[in-house]
Amino acid sequence: MGEMSETKAARLRRLLAGPDILILPGAYDALTAKLIEKAGFPAMVMGGYSIAAAKLGEPDVGYLSLTEMAAAVRTISDAVSIPLIADGDTGYGNALSVRRTVREYERAGAAAILLEDQLWPKRCGHMQGKQVIPAAEHALKIRAAVEARYDPDTLIMARTDARGVNGLDDAVERGKRYLAAGAEALFIEAPQNERELERIGREFPDAVLVANMIEGGRTPCLPAATLKQMGFKIVFWPCTALYTLAAAFDKVLACLKATGTTAACQNAMLDFDAFNALIGLPEYQKLEEKYRLTGGNANVHP
């Protein structure tokens, strides 16, 4: 009997054990996930900001439910073979709700699950008006998440939004409590300058640290090599796909409206054949031929 294939959660842990910082773009649907995999990235992240924008056309202010987010996890994970870090928001309730969130996300294909300490309804970490729950309460939610895992390789990541509410000192202390509660990676959201990023690296020399790069957000967008030197192991670019595709489509729509055709902007688009190749039509056609009936008989050739 052959060895079982490596799970996505185990693969993510192997990547984290390697020497490189992980540069992880954000996917918000199966198509953006396929583009990320095609570009050669080893893993990806799924954030609620982009899901809310793409699914609802609404800001990231806590409109999405657990079931909607778990469905997005499944759609994205099923489209690719690389690991997915999934945004579990606040766990959608108390510690018992967190247990269900972890299990639903695992069943949907998440290799890692991110849980934050905001008060629900939450909002994007780079927006104003955030509130956080007591650190002791979130530490219990992290413990519940760790204990609820079906697969011990599933990575539980703790996020704190306390920097924008109570200051960096509180965020650091919360990070220590969440790691002590069992989190295996730490994401201190929205540090406001390079000095704060450097301090986070110094405070947690042995932790798997996450940096979050949102174009135009509160944290300066730094190269991965710089963040690695500061002590970070993972860098998210969660909104890059969303912002890029929105800007590109906006330009093509303006061209179409002004000229009545897309002829002048087709160099900014994939053509019919290239797009069909991206979404796997050639592989589908091979399978179609494999199972095609010929002359009333099944095509049984492998």
Q: Are 197 and 191 in contact (CB under 8 A)?
A: yes
Q: Are 231 and 209 in contact (CB under 8 A)?
A: yes
**Quick check: is 252 in a domain?**
no
**Quick check: is 251 in a domain?**
no
**Quick check: is 245 in a domain?**
no
pTM of the model: 0.92
**Quick check: is 255 in a domain?**
no
Same structural domain, 197 and 277:
no
Residue-number span of the structural domain to which 288 is assigned: 270-298
Same structural domain, 160 and 20:
yes
**Quick check: is 16 in a domain?**
yes
Same structural domain, 100 and 144:
yes
- Return the sign of the alpha-carbon dihedral for residues 242, 246, 252, 257: positive
Given 238, 257, 286, which residue is the final one in a domain?
A: 238
Same structural domain, 215 and 275:
no
The residues pairing with 159 across neighbouring beta strands, listed in sequence order, are 116, 187
CATH of the domain at 37: 3.20.20.60
Same structural domain, 292 and 171:
no
**Quick check: is 261 in a domain?**
no
Q: Residue 166: its pLDDT value, please?
A: 87
Place of tokens 């959660």: 9
Same structural domain, 127 and 275:
no
The residues pairing with 237 across neighbouring beta strands, listed in sequence order, are 25
Could you give the 3-state DSSP secondary structure of residue 228? helix
Cα R_g (the chain), whole angstroms:
21
Same structural domain, 115 and 185:
yes
**Quick check: is 230 in a domain?**
yes
Given 194, 214, 238, which residue is the final one in a domain?
A: 238
Same structural domain, 144 and 279:
no
Beta strands in the chain (DSSP E): 22-25, 44-46, 84-87, 112-116, 155-160, 185-188, 209-212, 234-237, 293-294, 297-298
pLDDT in tens, the chain (302 residues): 345 689 999 999 999 999 999 999 999 999 999 999 999 999 999 989 999 999 999 988 888 999 999 999 999 999 999 999 999 999 999 999 999 999 999 999 999 999 999 987 776 656 576 789 999 999 999 999 999 999 999 999 999 999 988 899 999 999 999 999 999 999 999 999 999 999 999 999 999 999 999 999 999 999 999 999 999 999 999 999 999 999 999 999 999 999 999 999 999 999 999 999 999 999 999 999 899 877 656 565 55
Same structural domain, 230 and 137:
yes
Same structural domain, 217 and 274:
no
**Quick check: is 173 in a domain?**
yes
Same structural domain, 20 and 125:
yes
Same structural domain, 130 and 278:
no
What's the domain count of the chain? 2
